[in-house]
Amino acid sequence: MILSTEDLETLWLTLRLATTVTTLLLLIGTPIAWWLARSQSRWRGPISAIVALPLVLPPTVLGFYLLLAMGPSGPLGMLTQSLGLGTLAFTFWGLVIASMFYSLPFVVQPIQNAIAALGERPLEVASTLGAGPIDRFFTVVLPLARNGFITAAILGFAHTVGEFGVVLMIGGNIPGETRVVSVQIYDHVESLNYTQAHWLSGLMLLFSFSVLLALFVWQRQHNGLFRSRA
């Protein structure tokens, strides 16, 4: 086996982190996306800007502020301490929270665009047929905006897998807890352990390419489907 046990452990941890983050982000991102797509509020602009912020901010900046916020005298740290949870830095759940900030735009924006593209009409029709809000969401919005949700899930997952700067800042490189695959590659490179770095990097490259390829092929087929139906 070319990959060591430690390498495999980082791979497994990365997958666990990305799955947790994607699941939570779909749950939290959907109401945000819904609101952003349909609200006329004057807060829409500022909230959109906050959601998009991680696209612009360097990850180390985001990580540095999260480290301060999660510290014993930071707002997040004071909150978690008062709840009896201790501080979040250097824990798996600390990474989950940080990654959720970091990957938020990648999940919210595709869902928001898909919901915006639906327009009012299908919902109005469903409403006149007697469907309640929850019913409308599951029987109208979800199937019609399915493309957006799948894109969001894949991008959120892939982006979390590739995360590095934030994890480096708040993770503390603890095996099995916060040492994800990108950090492991960095360690290999920095300790001039280039062979193992190549193997892990190659694997990451292959993974990222396959995910994106699958996404684009899938999108193409489905857009074709919609066009032929119209």
Q: How far is the CB of 158 from another protein (least distance, A)?
A: 23
Q: Which is nearer to another protein, 153 or 181 (CB)?
A: 181
Using CA atoms, how far apart are residues 69 and 60, in angstroms rounded to an integer?
14
| Identity of residue 227 | R
Q: How far is the CB of 169 from another protein (least distance, A)?
A: 7
> Does residue 137 contact residue 163 with C-beta atoms inside 8 Å?
no
Report DSSP letters for 200-225, one per residue.
HHHHHHHHHHHHHHHHHHHHHHHHHH
Residue with tokens 């352990």: 193
Q: Which is nearer to another protein, 89 or 145 (CB)?
A: 89
Q: Write out the two tokens for 210.
A: 């396959």
Q: Which is nearer to another protein, 78 or 215 (CB)?
A: 78
Q: CA-based angle 81:87:9, to the nearest 5?
A: 145
Q: Which is nearer to another protein, 72 or 143 (CB)?
A: 72
Q: Write out the two tokens for 18.
A: 């990305």
SS3 call for 99 = helix
Q: Which is nearer to another protein, 193 or 210 (CB)?
A: 193
Q: Which is nearer to another protein, 144 or 189 (CB)?
A: 189
List, in order, residues 6 or more apart from 178 with CB less than 8 Å away.
13, 90, 91, 92, 94, 95, 167, 170, 171, 172
> Does residue 142 contact residue 67 with C-beta atoms inside 8 Å?
no
Q: How far is the CB of 71 from another protein (least distance, A)?
A: 4
Q: How far is the CB of 72 from another protein (least distance, A)?
A: 5
Q: How far is the CB of 98 from another protein (least distance, A)?
A: 13
How many other β-carbons are positioned within 10 Å of the β-carbon of residue 228?
Answer: 7
**Site residues for another protein per CB under 8 A:** 64, 67-68, 70-74, 77, 86-87, 89-90, 168-170, 172-174, 186-187, 189-192
Q: How far is the CB of 183 from another protein (least distance, A)?
A: 8
